[in-house]
Amino acid sequence: MNQAVIPKVLVTKIGFDGHDRGSRVVAAGLRDAGMEVIYTPPWQEIATVVKLALEEDVDVIGISSLATDHLIVPKLMDALREAGMSDVAVIVGGIVPDQDEAVLLQAGVARVFHPGSSMAEIAECVHDLTVAGRARRVAV
């Protein structure tokens, strides 16, 4: 990883579920990896996530889903596109059945992390997405 790049990442949950062990562990892990992490409690509205991502100018949004909340991630992707924020990468982590993973990737999600993923793997992905996203922004 290029240590000069410090990704800015928003770790959050949308929908109705409140189980936040995953989002808290990942937020702390990315922080420990030297990244700038913005963490929110669960149940954020999609519009709130878009607004926060815009105001904080994040590189990556990480959505944690334990209980099917990822089913509304395609709505988040639409909202980001409408706000002209397609350069912000979205990753999803948690209990995501195979049948839903394909739908999420189709909707533009960069990657889905399942239980058993290591922090190093997640950090590397966030880093790479940041580098790619910033390169695209410069090109535009």
Q: Toward another protein, which CB reaches closer, 30 or 53?
A: 30
Q: Toward another protein, which CB reaches closer, 124 or 137?
A: 124
Residue 72 as a binder of another protein (CB under 8 A): the answer is yes
CB of 94 to another protein, least distance (A): 10
Q: Which one among 17, 52, 87, 107 touches another protein, defined by CB under 8 A?
A: 17
Residue 39 as a binder of another protein (CB under 8 A): the answer is yes
Q: Which one among 8, 36, 42, 85 touches another protein, defined by CB under 8 A?
A: 42
Torsion sign across C-alpha atoms 96, 105, 29, 81: negative
Residue 60 as a binder of another protein (CB under 8 A): the answer is no
Residue 28 as a binder of another protein (CB under 8 A): the answer is yes
Q: Toward another protein, which CB reaches closer, 17 or 87?
A: 17
Q: Toward another protein, which CB reaches closer, 30 or 133?
A: 30
Residue 87 as a binder of another protein (CB under 8 A): the answer is no
Instruction: Give ∠ CA 109-30-79 in degrees, rounded to 5.
Output: 30
